[in-house]
Structure 1
Amino acid sequence: MCGITGWVDYGRDLAAERETVAAMTATMACRGPDASGMWFDRHAAFGHRRLAIIDLELGTQPMTAEAGGTVALTYSGEVYNFAELRAELQTRGHRFTTNSDTEVVLRGYLEWGTGLAERLNGMYAFAIWDPREERLVLIRDRMGIKPLYYSPHGDGLLFGSEPKSILAHPEIRPVVETDGLRELLSFTKNPGQAVWAGMREVEPGTVVTLDRTGLKVRRYWQLQPAEHADDIGVTVQHVRELLDDIVRRQLVADVPRCVLLSGGLDSSVITALAARQLADQDERVRSFAVDFVGQEDNFVPDALRATPDAPYVRDVHQHVGSLHQDIVLDSAELADPAVRRTVVRARDLPTGLGDMDGSLYLLFRAIRERSTVALSGESADEVFGGYAWFHDPKVQQADTFPWLARRLQSGERGVSQIFAEGVRSSLDLATHLRDSYSAAVAEAGTRAGETEHERRMRVIGYLHLTRFVRILLDRKDRLSMATGLEVRVPFCDHRLVEYVYNTPWTTKTFDGREKSLLRAAARDVLPVSVAERVKSPYPSTQDPKYLEALRDQVGDLLAAPAHPVFDLFDRGLLTGLLAREDTVPFLRPLVERVLNFATWFDLYSPELRVR
């Protein structure tokens, strides 16, 4: 895993811009702590920071090959079918000097051009400069696991794994306009929207090319409705076969590996399958879990979490014989402003999930001291329909994004309620969300012979796989790469996603439970307690000291009325909410967001242009 950046400009000699490219590359240091490299042509410059995973000695980048000129590649990610592709390319006359998947991607481009994208299985984002046509090629994986951004500039464009690399260019200003601020607050991921003015995100499953004739975008993959002819037994068997193959491929690495274990169904399945496969190599799987001081002893059930994770983590650890370690955090760590600064800096934006972001970063940081690659159960809920709101008839019929419908039903109020009046009226978030929702539903298409309920449930799945999961994947990528840890997501393998997406809802819930297919496919490798456990989200601290610390920090912020965050928030409304007792149920997420915004202003000094 790595960080990439670059600059193409047909009107400049970029060999003279080494200092700027070096500054852009330096912003990716956390993503690639093992090595740094740059490459220059007259009109193209690439930067790369490397996290060495496969072929530690020879897989350096940017990587080049001669083919009527020097073709250059800067690449981030992992291609899990690189061995098969390498063998095929060798039969076509290609000779390899490394064992890395990077060289397979480069040689694959020389053989198939941009058609290479359809052949890759993995998580990847990369750029190729082809001097034969003076063409830049940007390619991103199907599910959007690895990030990639670009910004048209001058007679070309800038690109990078994260916005911070583009913002490091001295001619780019950190501006956020109305649509960008709407995106920050809507808790959905509109395709291509990068928040920062003038910047775009390469959409998942997309090839972007730039040459002297202009910019072109081609979608090489997207979810399509298709008939599912397999019965329940065959479907369960095929899901298991896919999972076995996916986990086998994603365990390949030349560095220490581990799994993230929460005690939930998803992470437990990955842990158990990894343990079984590593046992064949006389190796024990290493597992890590996050917990909080006193959480198990003082746990109070709520609407989202009926049980603490720790007992189920122990059951899985003992069942599969993993080498396990709990990473136990306290409220002081979670509330530490330094941690918040690191999280906001990692994400480039004041978005987030409060203490769940901080704890995830601290978990990754602790794991990185012992391992370089981790497998995660992320995205199983979106693929198999695991969230509670999938099964709520009111949410199923709601005319908005399902995860937002659930929040509206609960009476939860967002941070926009304390925006300055002029900002709030200019944003018109209700219209923005309505338009975004309509566009997303229209994309999902129709399938002949579907009942209305089956179509509705397929559409809900589509919304999660194209609008919701990308928020979580981005969070996972940024916080893990901030520590130099590569996190792989087996449930995002496009073969599994395609197959389960088109499986009828009646089959996905054939036993009346959430994630019926996943339970059935992996029940034989799980302890009974976990196989029967009700869905529980990523853990959150229940320690009241955490909110107390946040209130103190907001108090300090209010004591600085000239802080630029109050160009956005109404200081009087915030003061009033802190003083009222009835605000306690929703106060914590609100003050977390306010503090994130304040930190963002401190770090980026963004210019807001809200009209």
Structure 2
Amino acid sequence: MCGIAGIFAKSPSQEIDSQILVNMAAIQHHRGPDNYGYCNPKDVGVGMSHARLSIIDLNETRGRQPFFLNGGHTIFAHNGEFYDFQRLRAQLTADGEYFVSKSDSEIVPHLVKRFGMQDTLPYLRGEFAFALFDEQEDALYLVRDRFGIKPLYWTQTDNNIVFGSEVKAVLAHPEVTPEFDSQGLFHQLIQVMVPGTTAFKGVNQVEPGHMLKITRENGEFQVQTTKYWDMDFPEADKREKKDEQYYVDGVRDQLLEAVQHRLTADVPVGCYLSGGIDSCSILGLASAASQHPIRAFTISFDNDDYDESKIAEQMAQATEAEQDVLQLNADLLYDNFARTIWHTERTIYNTLAVAKLMMSQHVTHNNYKVVLTGEGSDELFAGYPAFRKDMFLHGMEGPDEAQTDDWQKTLAESNKLFQGAMLPKDEYISDDIDSKVGFTPSCLQPWLGCSEYAFNLLCPERRNELEGYEPGSAIAERLDKNFLEGRHPLDKAQYVWIKTMLEGQILTWGGDRVDMANSMEARPAFLDHHLAEFAAQIPPEFRIKGSREKHVLREAMKGLLPEVLYNRQKFAFMAPPAHTDDKKWRKLKALFAKYASHEQIERAGIIDADYLDSLIAKQESPETPDADKVQIDAVLNHVLGIMVLHHHFIEQDISELAHDKAQQLGWVV
């Protein structure tokens, strides 16, 4: 729920402009259309604003943020949900704390008052990003949830720390000048980002599971970064192994509890439903726990190779859910491409992000604000084909010939559509990642393998800035060796994915940003940290048993799933690429003509137009192998995304747009 923004000045005497705060909330009105608020007391040098999506405590006066509490010494703004908050609120009330709302958000300032920030964080369960100013410490805290489900960006100007739920909220401050970062652009083109970075120079993300404490000393900011949580797989020789049924029962219990918590809302809660066991498991448990039929929202594509709606229908029937199917075609996907980039604020390799944006719009039009989703299951239970590949190559001792044949056959048959995206078409080795991890995980290889394309696509000036740059080295530097050393290879592969692709892709352009674009909150129950900590203890051979991925989860959910789902191998949920259909390819080329003509490319000074032309010609050639076309399709989407980003955020004055939006909404102070 919601969007937050704020300004922390170098001096307490510096006045914070009220209208700028409101403008920063207005530019992310889509995150919180129900109400807004701001707070900037005199002689404190800090201000916060908040655009509210009402889900818990619908009273617009009582639940309005930012909260100004603890005798005026604390300012607090929150985006997301805290679960089990009723129990915590009751305990704090019994200890003499007075609450002004029924909102889950308000527990944080009371917990911090009682325990301090560091000791408060273990109490917090859910998906969240928040800012808290403590006047007695003269400190601003910026905190993000354990997996990065909710976003939080920040930058430093000459006079201020500026932060917000979206990059556009940060750029809405007049002191922040939008400028592309060459390394950031390079990583946009290869899909995988360096954790904590963006495409924009000086604009950073608070990393998942991290807390920033920013203080003022002698007119300068001191920024202290603390990791408060990480995905901690046990060291291989210290793992306590129990029988399989123990883990099956534990997963079922933990997931049910996570789902029950995420059904908590003062508005109706639905579910996303694809043809995979992840969303089907969530729907099955939610239906069992609910007193009413669950509305299940399904995407249907106009390509049988990628469409899972028929399988999803079986699950909907089994649970007596009210299935709602949204049919998407090339026109809808490509006509909404540019709008999607405005919300993702990064490039996308596939129109799945557009499909998700269209689905959240459909959900909102059906008067739902909240859905439960299946994201996170593949990360916890090793569902992606890349994990099976790494398990076989690095995690098994002396597989025999029969095992080798079975593994190669099943992996190839079930993932031939995704060669070049979900699986590498060629091996790519990064020496620095090898040194840190022990091998280059297969999940990174398809994208690092695009480095030559990416380098040649950038204009000569940008290439000069990147001379000698090694993307694998930059990624490796952000991986914590303390959570890699001594771990099983499968644990390492999952850890790397969680730190890179989960946060930078699935939870960003596949999650929060396209969900909240239409004022809809998604709740990924699998990413409950209690469940995650239990899943980390599951032995690798129970996560992937033979060639069967997510074995423990399948067994835990066996009674809920129709037979076809219980036995079905992982199928990546992905929109049909442009090269698979002439109509889609024409729509993509029309977008290039609109946003990436030779004239526009020359004016932007980012892309090498000649190399782009050669890449498009290669994509159109019947001689180009399918796996190459999958990879080039992704790269072309990224190029288009960069040019749309340039149109949205560089050519336009975001601070003016934010002011105009506030005027349009009547948010004038």
Instruction: Work out whether the TM-score is over 0.5.
Output: yes
- The alpha-carbon distance between structure 1 residues 557 and 189, as it changes in their structure 2 partners (threshold 3 A), is closer
Shift of 1:469: 0.7
- Which deviations, in whole Å up to 9, do the C-alpha atoms of 1:435-491 show, x marking residues without a partner? 4236527242334xx6xxxx2111111111212210211221111111100001111
- The alpha-carbon distance between structure 1 residues 94 and 463, as it changes in their structure 2 partners (threshold 3 A), is same
Partner of residue 197 from structure 1, selected from 201, 204, 217:
201
- The alpha-carbon distance between structure 1 residues 348 and 292, as it changes in their structure 2 partners (threshold 3 A), is same
Question: Partners in 1 of 2:571 and 2:326 — Cα distance?
Answer: 19
Alignment match, 1:92: 95
Alignment match, 1:291: 300
Amino acid at match of 1:400: T
Amino acid at match of 2:132: I
- Which deviations, in whole Å up to 9, do the C-alpha atoms of 1:558-600 show, x marking residues without a partner? 6542445662222222223333414582453333222212211
Alignment match, 1:360: 356
Task: Give structure 2 stretches of 5+ with no counterpart.
Answer: 395-428, 430-438, 653-669
Instruction: Check if 1:50 corresponds to 2:56.
Output: no
Amino acid at match of 2:36: S
Question: Partners in 1 of 2:256 and 2:233 — Cα distance?
Answer: 25
- Which deviations, in whole Å up to 9, do the C-alpha atoms of 1:375-404 show, x marking residues without a partner? 110121111100111112598456324223
Judge which range, 504-513 or 309-318, deviates more: 504-513
Alignment match, 2:229: 221
Question: Partners in 1 of 2:387 and 2:141 — Cα distance?
Answer: 38
After superposition, where does 1:364-379 map in structure 2 within 5 Å? 364-370=360-366, 371-379=368-376
Shift of 1:606: 7.0
Q: Secondary structure at the match of 2:201?
A: coil
Q: Secondary structure at the match of 2:31?
A: coil
- Which deviations, in whole Å up to 9, do the C-alpha atoms of 1:153-184 show, x marking residues without a partner? 33541111111111111111112233322332
**2:53–2:519 contact (8 Å) kept in structure 1:** yes
Instruction: Check if 1:140 corresponds to 2:151.
Output: no
Alignment match, 1:493: 528
**1:461–1:501 contact (8 Å) kept in structure 2:** no
Question: Partners in 2 of 1:533 and 1:243 — Cα distance?
Answer: 20
Amino acid at match of 2:75: A
Alignment match, 1:109: 112
**1:54–1:101 contact (8 Å) kept in structure 2:** yes
Alignment match, 1:261: 273
Shift of 1:534: 1.3
Question: Partners in 1 of 2:9 and 2:520 — Cα distance?
Answer: 33
- Which deviations, in whole Å up to 9, do the C-alpha atoms of 1:62-83 show, x marking residues without a partner? 112233x342211111001211
Question: Partners in 1 of 2:361 and 2:529 — Cα distance?
Answer: 29
- The alpha-carbon distance between structure 1 residues 228 and 499, as it changes in their structure 2 partners (threshold 3 A), is farther
Q: Secondary structure at the match of 1:212?
A: strand
- The alpha-carbon distance between structure 1 residues 489 and 16, as it changes in their structure 2 partners (threshold 3 A), is closer
Question: Partners in 2 of 1:156 and 1:224 — Cα distance?
Answer: 35
Question: Partners in 2 of 1:435 and 1:333 — Cα distance?
Answer: 37
Q: Secondary structure at the match of 2:538?
A: coil
After superposition, where does 1:446-465 map in structure 2 within 5 Å? 446-447=485-486, 455-465=488-498
- The alpha-carbon distance between structure 1 residues 157 and 481, as it changes in their structure 2 partners (threshold 3 A), is same
After superposition, where does 1:551-562 map in structure 2 within 5 Å? 551-555=589-593, 559-562=597-600
Question: Partners in 2 of 1:579 and 1:599 — Cα distance?
Answer: 21
Shift of 1:408: 7.2
- The alpha-carbon distance between structure 1 residues 498 and 190, as it changes in their structure 2 partners (threshold 3 A), is farther
Judge which range, 533-542 or 55-64, deviates more: 533-542
Judge which range, 157-166 or 319-328, deviates more: 157-166
**1:262–1:313 contact (8 Å) kept in structure 2:** yes
Alignment match, 1:120: 124
Q: What CA RMSD, in Å, does the superposition of the two structures yield over aligned residues?
A: 2.4
Question: Partners in 2 of 1:562 and 1:94 — Cα distance?
Answer: 59
Instruction: Check if 1:574 corresponds to 2:608.
Output: no
Judge which range, 363-372 or 418-427, deviates more: 418-427
Question: Partners in 2 of 1:395 and 1:423 — Cα distance?
Answer: 39
Q: Secondary structure at the match of 1:524?
A: coil
**2:149–2:507 contact (8 Å) kept in structure 1:** yes
Alignment match, 2:645: 600
- The alpha-carbon distance between structure 1 residues 234 and 511, as it changes in their structure 2 partners (threshold 3 A), is farther
**1:418–1:570 contact (8 Å) kept in structure 2:** yes
Shift of 1:421: 4.2
Alignment match, 1:539: 574
Question: Partners in 1 of 2:95 and 2:491 — Cα distance?
Answer: 41
- The alpha-carbon distance between structure 1 residues 535 and 172, as it changes in their structure 2 partners (threshold 3 A), is same
- The alpha-carbon distance between structure 1 residues 394 and 264, as it changes in their structure 2 partners (threshold 3 A), is closer
Question: Partners in 1 of 2:15 and 2:40 — Cα distance?
Answer: 6
Query: So what's the TM-score if we normalise by structure 2?
Result: 0.82
- The alpha-carbon distance between structure 1 residues 386 and 169, as it changes in their structure 2 partners (threshold 3 A), is same
Instruction: Check if 1:77 corresponds to 2:80.
Output: yes
Question: Partners in 2 of 1:557 and 1:5 — Cα distance?
Answer: 30
Alignment match, 2:249: 237
After superposition, where does 1:3-22 map in structure 2 within 5 Å? 3-11=3-11, 13=13, 15=15, 17-22=17-22
Alignment match, 1:310: 309
**1:15–1:45 contact (8 Å) kept in structure 2:** no
Shift of 1:513: 0.7
Instruction: Check if 1:63 corresponds to 2:67.
Output: yes
Shift of 1:414: 4.5
Question: Partners in 1 of 2:102 and 2:570 — Cα distance?
Answer: 41
Amino acid at match of 2:78: Y
After superposition, where does 1:489-528 map in structure 2 within 5 Å? 489-510=524-545, 512-528=547-563
Question: Partners in 2 of 1:97 and 1:441 — Cα distance?
Answer: 41
Partner of residue 480 from structure 1, selected from 505, 512, 515:
515
- Which deviations, in whole Å up to 9, do the C-alpha atoms of 1:339-396 show, x marking residues without a partner? 22221111223x1133111111111111111210011101211111001111125984
**2:16–2:46 contact (8 Å) kept in structure 1:** no
Question: Partners in 2 of 1:76 and 1:414 — Cα distance?
Answer: 38
Q: Secondary structure at the match of 2:326?
A: strand
Q: Secondary structure at the match of 1:54?
A: coil
Shift of 1:92: 1.4
- The alpha-carbon distance between structure 1 residues 363 and 395, as it changes in their structure 2 partners (threshold 3 A), is farther
Judge which range, 583-592 or 56-65, deviates more: 583-592
Alignment match, 1:423: 462
Q: Secondary structure at the match of 1:576?
A: helix
Instruction: Check if 1:324 corresponds to 2:359.
Output: no
Shift of 1:187: 2.9
Which structure's relative contact order is higher, taking Cα pairs within 8 Å and 6+ residues apart? 2
Shift of 1:518: 0.7
Alignment match, 1:168: 172
**2:380–2:532 contact (8 Å) kept in structure 1:** yes
Q: Secondary structure at the match of 2:557?
A: helix
Shift of 1:102: 1.4
Q: Secondary structure at the match of 2:443?
A: helix
Task: Give structure 1 stretches of 5+ with no counterpart.
Answer: none
Shift of 1:604: 1.3
**1:390–1:396 contact (8 Å) kept in structure 2:** no
Instruction: Check if 1:276 corresponds to 2:288.
Output: yes
- Which deviations, in whole Å up to 9, do the C-alpha atoms of 1:165-207 show, x marking residues without a partner? 1111111111223332233234334332233222221121222
Alignment match, 1:550: 588
Q: Secondary structure at the match of 1:525?
A: coil
